[in-house]
Structure 1
Amino acid sequence: MHGLGELEGKVMDVLWSAAEPMRVRDVLDALTSARPLAYTTVLTVLDNLHGKGWVRRSRAGRAYVYTAVESRAEAGARVLRDVLDASGDAERVLLHFARSASPDESAILRRALRQDGSK
């Protein structure tokens, strides 16, 4: 995901697929990596994600549990919104995106525009 480092993205993938809040140990156990990760590495990544506003944490006994602040789709939409806002030319960016969309993606966009126009 844009705006996240490689390990941050992997940690977010774990949290987005989780049904409930996760402890650092749970996240560490769920991560599959070519190299073993230290508990403190995952703790640092989660702390950084919390500071960036990607995750929320709450106390569960003596430890924190972590959840994603928003769904993967919501985060993707927010990142896209940030790109459009920062581009200085949202129309041009959207047109380039529309030209690069697959047929399935184009159908989704057309369907969304039809639904939005009926309101």
Structure 2
Amino acid sequence: MAEPDPRGRRRAQGALETQVLAALQQADGPVTAGWVRERLAAGLAYTTVMTVLGRLLAKDAVTRRREGRSFVWLPAADQAGLAALKMRRVLDGERDRRAVLASFVTTLPEGDERLLRELLRHAGDGD
């Protein structure tokens, strides 16, 4: 029997993170892992939800605080914020930031490059 493709598993973990974040973003406030589990399809185990929340916490995508004997969870980032965190981690993992950023910018479609330049221009206005 062939072993499962670890990249497929990785994609599944990313999909679970997205689902957990979506559930947290729909909440009216801090919620428990059990609350999140009830809102997810596929009948996930409580421990799986806790693992995903722990990964999101390590990525600074969620926050938690103790309430009574358990934790309650809140999203620290929306989907755009999570994507930005991922991009930042990739950039932080490289030695030559200039080369990575230059390569990134040169591969952007023209409209995205224009948008990025506009965003950078506006970010500089706040200084």
Q: Give the TM-score normalised by the residue count of structure 1.
A: 0.67
Change beyond 3 A, Cα 1:15–1:92: same
Letter in 2 for 1:83: V
In structure 2, C-alpha distance between the alignment counterparts of 1:17 and 1:106, rounded to whole Å:
32
The answer (yes or no) to whether the contact 2:17–2:56 under 8 Å persists in 1 is yes
In structure 2, C-alpha distance between the alignment counterparts of 1:47 and 1:87, rounded to whole Å:
25
Query: Aligned match of 2:30 in 14, 17, 21?
Result: 21
Q: Which residue of the partner structure matches residue 30 of structure 1?
A: 39
Change beyond 3 A, Cα 1:40–1:86: closer
Q: Which residue of the partner structure matches residue 4 of structure 2?
A: none
| Structure 2 SS opposite 1:87 | coil
Q: Which residue of the partner structure matches residue 65 of structure 2?
A: 58
Query: Aligned match of 2:122 in 106, 115, 118?
Result: 115
Listed one character per residue, the Cα deviations across residues 36-83 of structure 1 (whole Å, up to 9, x for unaligned) are 212332234324544x25432224455432112344434433332222
> Which residues of structure 1 form unaligned runs of 5+?
none
Q: CA RMSD in A?
A: 3.0
Change beyond 3 A, Cα 1:44–1:90: closer
Q: Which residue of the partner structure matches residue 109 of structure 2?
A: 102
Q: Which residue of the partner structure matches residue 83 of structure 2?
A: 76
Q: Answer with 15-24 or 108-117: which moved more.
A: 15-24
In structure 2, C-alpha distance between the alignment counterparts of 1:18 and 1:114, rounded to whole Å:
35
The answer (yes or no) to whether the contact 2:23–2:36 under 8 Å persists in 1 is yes
Q: Which residue of the partner structure matches residue 13 of structure 2?
A: 5
CA drift at 1:9: 3.9
Q: Which residue of the partner structure matches residue 85 of structure 1?
A: 92
In structure 2, C-alpha distance between the alignment counterparts of 1:29 and 1:103, rounded to whole Å:
43
Change beyond 3 A, Cα 1:117–1:70: closer
